[in-house]
């Protein structure tokens, strides 16, 4: 679907289970949400927001503990998903208002976070996801449209996209979620600028409630 937006909201999430290409496949709950606003008109990025999500079950996989660096005790003051989504909406609305922006679309690294984590978990918990979670840009697909010679969509990763664009990630915070979101923001700014001058126009949609695939 085609649209014009003032901003993109880079979104990253992690569950208590598998990550990467297996994200959501084990139906584990979301425990981390990280986001950052990218102002498309001024080519600037906003503050990185990182929030832990209190899952119903705090049994963390070894992969999760190692990659995200969390333990069950870290979630003592965390809020459940419904409250985190409210906070996300409020913080996002406030930030966009301060920037003088009104329209935005989510941007994720691939399809899994939206289709295989957020929508299935919300349906299980009888939560109504905000409308913004029904449309998103898949950065891997957008990158491939802009740089088709880089690699196939399935072979792309945040690090490989940054490397293709000659973006240094050495000084980027190595904190889980923050690294991904910050690097994705830098990739988007690079695509927007010379020599690419790329436009984000055709976003993905989740057409039906509880849709999880295929795409």
Omega cis (within 30) before 96: no
Question: In whole angstroms, how far apart are CA 212 and each of 98, 144, 205, 209?
Answer: 34, 23, 11, 9
| Percentage with pLDDT > 70 across the chain | 94
Task: Say yes or no to pLDDT of 40 above 50.
Answer: yes
Q: Return the number of other C-beta atoms located less than 10 Å from residue 109's C-beta.
A: 25
Predicted pLDDT at 200: 93
CB contact at 8 A, 205 and 1: yes
164-175: per-residue pLDDT in tens?
999 987 767 778
Task: Say yes or no to pLDDT of 210 above 60.
Answer: no
CA 144 – CA 8 distance, rounded (Å): 18
Q: Return the number of other C-beta atoms located less than 10 Å from residue 213's C-beta.
A: 11
Residue found under tokens 């409250």: 83
142-155: per-residue pLDDT in tens?
999 999 988 888 88
Task: Say yes or no to pLDDT of 211 above 80.
Answer: no
Question: In whole angstroms, how far apart are CA 60 and each of 65, 116, 178, 203?
Answer: 6, 18, 20, 33
pTM of the prediction? 0.91
Residue found under tokens 């991904």: 180
Coil, strand, or helix at residue 47?
A: coil
Geometric angle at alpha carbon 29, from 58 and 20, rounded to 5°:
110
Residue found under tokens 């208002």: 97
In the Cβ-directed half-sphere of 120, how many Cα atoms lie within 13 Å?
Answer: 16
Predicted pLDDT at 103: 87
CA 130 – CA 128 distance, rounded (Å): 6
Question: pLDDT averaged over the chain?
Answer: 89
From the list 215, 192, 180, 177, the residue with the least C-alpha distance to 143 is 192
Predicted pLDDT at 209: 53
Task: Say yes or no to pLDDT of 82 above 80.
Answer: yes
**Position 195 confidence tier, pLDDT thresholds 50, 70, 90:** very high
103-125: per-residue pLDDT in tens?
899 999 999 999 999 999 999 99
């Amino acid at each position: 679907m085609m649209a014009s937006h003032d901003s993109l909201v880079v979104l990253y999430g992690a569950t208590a289970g598998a990550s990467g290409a297996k994200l959501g496949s084990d139906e584990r709950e979301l425990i981390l949400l990280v986001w950052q606003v990218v102002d498309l008109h001024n080519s600037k990025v906003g503050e990185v927001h990182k929030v832990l999500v209190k899952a119903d079950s705090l049994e963390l996989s070894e992969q999760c503990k190692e990659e995200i660096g969390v333990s069950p005790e870290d979630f003592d003051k965390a809020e459940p998903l419904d409250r985190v989504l409210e906070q996300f909406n409020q913080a996002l609305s406030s930030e966009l208002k301060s920037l003088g922006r009104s329209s935005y679309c989510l941007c994720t690294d691939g399809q899994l976070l939206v289709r295989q984590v957020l929508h299935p978990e919300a349906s299980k918990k009888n939560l109504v996801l905000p409308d913004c979670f029904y449309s998103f840009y898949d950065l891997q697909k957008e990158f491939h449209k802009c740089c088709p010679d880089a690699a196939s969509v399935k072979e792309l990763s945040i690090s490989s996209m940054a490397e293709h664009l000659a973006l240094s990630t050495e000084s980027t915070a190595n904190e889980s979620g923050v690294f991904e979101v910050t690097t994705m923001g830098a990739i988007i700014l690079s695509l927007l600028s010379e020599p690419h001058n790329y436009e984000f126009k055709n976003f993905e949609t989740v057409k039906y409630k509880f849709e999880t695939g295929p795409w």
